[in-house]
Structures are given as structure tokens and as C-alpha cells.
Amino acid sequence: MTGMADPYEDRADAGRKLAGKLTKFEKERPVIVGLPRGGVVVAAEIARALNADLDVIIAGKLRAPYNPELAIGAVTEDGAVYLNDMAVRSLRIKPDYIENEKRERLRAVTERLNLYRKIKKKVPLKGRTVIIADDGLATGATMISAIQASTASGAKKIIVAVPGGPRDTVDTISGMKEVAEVVCPLVPSLFYAVSQLYADFTQTEDEEVMEILKEFAGNEERKRA
């Protein structure tokens, strides 16, 4: 997990570069799981390269009071909550705030999930190697929730694949017992935002995610035919 001289062109470029480091898992017929929205673009490139199934796991970021960009945890589509206890303590966040934020974010997660599941059914993870991809790590709260959700769904092996992130977050996720390996090519000595990894970090819209899901839903139908 060493640094790289240049940022990625965009998320698709990052996905292609990550795919080259994940070919050893192709024989395990992995499920590539993207975290919406940007992570789905990365995951799609990996899935194409590995001829693998694609799915999404939606985990909503729990936002700090007065600072919605700061994550204090995340909630998964089944209502499971991961909290960054250090952030909660340092900001003196009360339980009723966390409960209200959980309800609000779970509602948003459910709305988005319903949108996606109309296009593509959930891929069962039980007994499968699961590669969870995102467009980068920051606090790691959303990724940790996705790891926990994959474990609860019966994943046999979990690989985390991200283009880059801060050393402390990478080390935290690498140390999780549920995670077999973390593939993270870019670990800047000074990390301030995921956007620094990219020349083009244009926001990914739901329409792009849905087009990707349509593509892979069609692939699954052709495989069954």
C-alpha cells in the first residue's frame, strides 16, 4: 500500500487500476459490491474486468451536529448502526440526536435502495467472496458498516478495494477480523479529502448508477439464458 505520483483521471480509471490488482480473486467468482454512488462506478470497472457479479450495499452516513460533512457513523439498509465512539464522545453527542439521525438517514437509504432494486435484484452473498469497492476512504464509517452488513449476509471472505485513503483509516479497516485483505494503492502522507485522489471528481448521479445496474442485470439474464 504505497503512494502513487499522480492522481487518478476519474473513478473509472481508478476502477480499472484497482481491477489489475484484484485478478488473483477472479477464480473465486467474487461478488463486487459498490457503495453508492461513486463507488458503484469503481466497482463496475472491477466487475467487468473480473467477469464478476455486481451489487450495491447502501450505508447512510450519520452526520455530526452542525457539520454534515463529518461522519460520526453509518446506518445500513437493514437498520444496523456503526458509531465512531471517539467522535461521539469528543463532540458530546446525545443518544436522542443519534436516534433521530439514524431514522432520517435510514429513510433516505430505503428510498434509494427501492430505486435501485427496481432495476436489479440483490445478489446473495452467503458463501461468496465479496469485494467491497468505494471511490476512496475518509473516516471509514460507511465502509465499516458495509463490511458488517456483508458479514451478516454470510460472506465467506471480504476484500476491501479502494483507490486511496488516509493511513489511520486503512490500518483500522485492515485490522478488522472480518476483512481478509485491503487493496489500497494510494495512501497520501497528507490526506485531506477523497477528491485529492482524482483529476476529475465530478459527483456521480443516481442516473449513472441505474445505468450501470441495468447493464449488469442484463448480463445476469444472459448468463441464465
Mapping DSSP to helix (H, G, I), strand (E, B) and coil, where does residue 69 land?
strand
Q: What is the pLDDT of residue 225?
A: 55
CATH number, domain with residue 130? 3.40.50.2020
> Which of these, 126, 117, 122, 129, lies nearest to 153 by C-alpha position?
126
Gap between the Cα atoms of 24 and 112, Å rounded: 33
Q: Which domain holds residue 202?
A: 11-58+123-224
pLDDT digits (tens, 9 = 90+) for 41-99: 999 999 999 999 999 998 888 889 988 877 788 888 778 788 888 889 999 999 999 99
Q: What is the pLDDT of residue 203?
A: 95
Mapping DSSP to helix (H, G, I), strand (E, B) and coil, where does residue 162 land?
coil
Q: Is 52 domain-assigned?
A: yes
Helix 38-50 with 11-20: angle, nearest 10 deg? 40
Pairing of strands 67-76, 81-83: antiparallel
Q: Is 53 domain-assigned?
A: yes
Q: Is 156 domain-assigned?
A: yes
Q: Is 208 domain-assigned?
A: yes
Number of structural domains, the chain? 1
Residue ranges, the chain, pLDDT below 70: 1-6, 221-225
Q: Is 84 domain-assigned?
A: no
Q: What is the pLDDT of residue 224?
A: 62
